[in-house]
Amino acid sequence: MVSGIPHSASAPGCAVVKLGGSLITCEGPGGPDVDRDLLTARARELAACGRPLVLVHGTGAYGKPPARRYGYLDGRLPSGRAGVVAEVARDLARLELEVVDCLEAGGLKPLRLPAIQLFRASAGRASPLDLEPVRELLARGVTPVVGGNFVLDCDGFAVCSSDIMAVELALALGAASLVLATRAHGVYREHGRGEAIHGQLSDRDGDALRKIDAAGQDVSGGMLAKISHGFRAARHGIATYVVDGRVAGNLNGALDGSPLQGTRLLSGQAGG
């Protein structure tokens, strides 16, 4: 998918950090909840880095159950099911406000931007609209925050994956770095067969890519889709990492080019 963002929307030197839904949410006894301690701690670290940031987050425990319950694991809903969209979007808005609250408590200056204003889908494929507000917020010292949510499709609604949004934002803004934070140590060499991860992974490492788990996918596509999207950023010269967001200092380490634990995604180079 080619980005259609005008050059004026670029913000070179910024970084895009995507916080995975499974990293920042959990299923509690009363329903989905936000891991406020972890999120506030990561926000505190990011606030100390002194770089202009765009934060994107997944939906995790808030997004996956309704996708299964209402049968849109393929990421699309027709206009006739607008009631479902309204119900789920309401709950996702609550998640987004919780996230912004934690980010502010950690010392950032966050401002929530609804995904539906920034992205649109066609036949289920999301593409960016005008991202000029993102650049303008960065120029004013504000951290734009975008959560995974529904966007308009040509004949209904589509779920806009937070991984896709993060990559599109990084490309459009000319970001220096893209960090995809998860609950995994990085990209595992053999899913389910130990904890060893790739320190680097190239889009040409066919044997390694075939060993990545493609089972148990959700509406976002899982790890295989995540790195496929991440490779798009790497091909444009953006330093792209998949890191363990649970590890203190790991996000800033990745932003500095030296994560404590994680995988760098490379384009056309041998991994390791």
Binding residues for substrate: 59, 162
Q: CA 170 to CA 271: how far, in whole Å?
A: 22
Residue numbers belonging to the annotated binding site: 18-22, 59-60, 162, 222, 226
Q: CA 116 to CA 128: how far, in whole Å?
A: 10
**Backbone φ, ψ for residue 196 (5° rounding):** -65, 135
Q: How far, CA to CA in Å, does 179 sit from each of 1, 44, 231?
A: 20, 16, 12
CA dihedral sign of residues 78, 114, 145, 138: positive
Q: Which residues, 6 or more positions from 25, have their beta carbon under 8 angstroms from its beta carbon?
A: 32, 33, 34, 35, 58, 59, 60, 61, 62, 95
Residue numbers belonging to the annotated binding site for ATP: 18-22, 60, 222, 226
Please list the helix, strand and coil fractions of the chain in percent, rounded to the nearest 5, in that order. 40, 25, 35
Q: Which two tokens stand for residue 238?
A: 């953006």
